Structure 1
Amino acid sequence: MTGSWKQFETEAPELAKRVHARFTAEKTHVLATLRRDGSPRVNGSEVEFRDGELLLGSMLNAVKARDLRRDGRCAIHAFPGDPENGCDAKVSGVAEELPGGGDSHLFRLGLTDVVVTWVEGNSLWVETWWPDRPRVRYERPENGPALRHPL
């Protein structure tokens, strides 16, 4: 099951705001696609937020576009930049090519999960969103066992 960026914004607005900030803070991010043999491939990629959707672009007939056309499963990691930026954001989903790309490819990403991690004090925090499921937040204080926090 996948969800749209708009659904993510509706179900987890404060988390979506943090993820959007990370993806708009830098121009290029790291996209993981699947090669024909199923092994991973990483590529630089840009994202765009338009009409409640998260979009990925690609040059015409680029390897990452061929990967996504064959198997749309992918993940994109926002460029981490400055460690003081507040969080680390990753989005996974299934890319679907939109028609009319002309001299490039444009893919809409159906979200399967969004993960945000950040450090607060001596704790690592992880929050995850999935479409139509409750969010989950964990804390790892002092690098110890993970503690689940209700949201």
Structure 2
Amino acid sequence: MTTWQEFAAAAPRVSSIFARRHQQADRLCLLGTLRSDGYPRISPVEPCIFEGQLVIAGMPGTTKFLDLNRDPRFTLHNSIDDHDRAIASSVEGDDHGLKITIWKAGEPEQVTSPGQSGQGSPARLLP
């Protein structure tokens, strides 16, 4: 599992934007999971960084946690308004690690994964 420190070292700009937006939005984020029928589910969550881990807590047995127990892939979104610039980011995780996607107005989508190629965060453009 990737720690918050590893994520922040590999993607300092994304992690600082996430931390700032997380604070501004009173910690509210949207967690995207996959339902058992394969359709997406969006759930509001209030993650926190605790002992170096990004923690998403909630009531046991809720559908979002049943989704994650069945299929650990997820995406976590926070506010997409960065004052006058249109920018969005998402973090997706599965058994193979994290994938960070960044969208900026007028630019192609960029994807990076912490620890790729031993250098931390090389970005590759998606078609």
Query: TM bucket by the smaller chain?
Result: 0.7 to 0.9
- The answer for the alignment partner of 2:20 in structure 1 is 21
Question: Which structure shows the bigger proportion of residues in strand conformation?
Answer: 1
Matched, 1:12 2:11: yes
Matched, 1:118 2:118: no
Matched, 1:132 2:118: no
Per-residue deviation at 1:22? 2.4
Specify the code of the residue in structure 1 equivalent to 2:4: W
Task: Go from structure 1 to structure 2 and tell me whether the alpha carbon gap of 1:85 and 1:21 turns closer, same or farther (over 3 Å shift).
Answer: farther
- The answer for the alignment partner of 1:103 in structure 2 is none
Q: Percent identity?
A: 24
Contact 1:91 1:111 in 2 (8 A): no
Residues 60-79 of structure 1: matches in 2 within 5 Å? Answer: 60-79=60-79
- The answer for the alignment partner of 1:102 in structure 2 is none
Per-residue deviation at 1:111? 4.7
Distance 2:10 2:74 in 1: 22
Per-residue deviation at 1:83? 5.1
- The answer for the alignment partner of 1:93 in structure 2 is 93
In structure 1, list runs of 5 or more residues that go unmatched.
Answer: 96-109, 139-145, 147-151
Specify the code of the residue in structure 2 equivalent to 1:4: T
Distance 1:94 1:68 in 2: 10
TM-score (norm 2): 0.74
| Bigger-Rg structure (1/2) | 1
Distance 1:127 1:78 in 2: 17
User: What are the Cα deviations for residues 97-124 of structure 1, in whole angstroms up to 9, with x where unaligned?
Assistant: xxxxxxxxxxxxx8511122234xxx33
TM-score (norm 1): 0.64
Specify the code of the residue in structure 2 equivalent to 1:44: P
Contact 2:31 2:43 in 1 (8 A): yes
In structure 2, list runs of 5 or more residues that go unmatched.
Answer: none
Task: Go from structure 1 to structure 2 and tell me whether the alpha carbon gap of 1:4 and 1:117 turns closer, same or farther (over 3 Å shift).
Answer: same
Distance 2:18 2:97 in 1: 13
Distance 2:97 2:67 in 1: 18
Provide the aligned length of Structure 1 versus Structure 2: 121
